[in-house]
Amino acid sequence: MTAARDMTAIPVIEGWFTTGEEPRLVASRCTACGTLVFPPPPPEAASFCRNPVCDGEQHEPAELSRAGRVWSYTDAQYQPPAPYVPTTDPFEPFALAAVELPEGLVVLGQVADGYGVRDLAVGAEVELVVESLYEDETGERTIWRWKPVVELGEEADQ
């Protein structure tokens, strides 16, 4: 485990999101019509445009907006079955949100550590963060998550 911790955190899946200070989801964009698809197909895979009136087959990576509005939300109060990888024993519930991005996609994600359904509402603003999902033999694996954006007025109330 010590060896694993010395390794850098790497995304649990390659090419779906950027890391760093301002992480973003990476969609694929059809070079013919601009239709975005998330998650993006693997780079080596053929990509047939989802838009039925477009026969585009070329695509390029396209970073999506960091901030969006909650379309809906829920949580998992029981441990999901495999291939979910539990990281605590006993299981600790986590929240999930479907977030509408300005580009016109709704993307699912877990909600950032420390936030639950009480911190969410349909229409509320959230932004993308990258956090640890689990550790495997290669080290810490990270995932994108949605973090509620606390309004200034609410901050003053706390």
Partner 1 sequence: MSNAIAVAGVGMHPWGKWGRPFVEYGVHAARTALADSGIAWRDVDFVVGGETVRNGYAGYVAGSTFASALGWNGARIATSYAACATGAQALDTARARILAGLSEIALVVGADTTPKGFLAPNAGERWTDPDWLRFRLLGMTNPAYFALYARRRMDLYGATSEDFAQVKVKNARHGLENPYARYRKEVAVADVLGSAIVSDPLHLLDICATSDGAAAVVLTSLDYARRHGLGGAAGPVRVEAVSTVTPTFPNTVIDMPLLSTDHAAGGAPERTFKESLALAAYEEAGIGPDDVDVAEVYDLSTALELDWIEDLGLCKRGEAEVLLRAGDTTIGGRIPVNPSGGLACFGEAVPAQALAQVCELTWQLRGQATGRQVEGARVGITANQGLFGHGSSVLLAR
Among partner 1, Zn ion, none, residue 56 binds (CB under 5-8 Å by kind): Zn ion
Cβ nearer to partner 1, comparing 107 with 127:
107
* Angle ∠(68,108,31) on CA atoms, nearest 5: 75
Q: Which of residues 16-45 bind Zn ion (CB under 5 A)?
A: 30, 32-33, 35
Determine, following the binding rule CB under 5 A, whether residue 54 of this chain makes contact with Zn ion: yes
Measured from the Cβ of residue 60, the count of other Cβ atoms closer than 10 Å reads 11
Residue of 11, 39, 56, 139 interacting with Zn ion (CB under 5 A): 56
Token reading at 12: 């649990």
Tell me which residue has tokens 């999901």: 80
Enumerate residues 56-85 that contact partner 1 by CB under 8 A. 71-78, 80-85
Dihedral of the CA atoms 125, 88, 134, 80 (nearest 10)? -70
Q: Cα–Cα distance between 94 and 113 in angstroms, integer?
A: 8
Q: Which stretch binds partner 1 (CB under 8 A): 2-10, 46-54, 148-156?
A: 46-54
Q: Footprint of partner 1 on residues 126-145 (CB under 8 A)?
A: 133, 143
Residues 94-123 close enough to bind partner 1 by CB under 8 A = 94, 96, 98, 103-110, 117, 121-123
Residue 9 makes contact with partner 1 by CB under 8 A:
no
Decide: 110 and 101 in contact? Cβ < 8 Å: no
One DSSP character per residue, 38-96 reads SSPPPTTS----SSTT-----EEEEEPPSEEEEEEEEEE-SPPPTTS---SSS---EEE
Contact positions toward Zn ion, by CB under 5 A? Answer: 30, 32-33, 35, 49, 51, 54, 56
Contact positions toward partner 1, by CB under 8 A? Answer: 12-13, 27, 34-39, 42, 45, 50-52, 71-78, 80-85, 94, 96, 98, 103-110, 117, 121-123, 133, 143
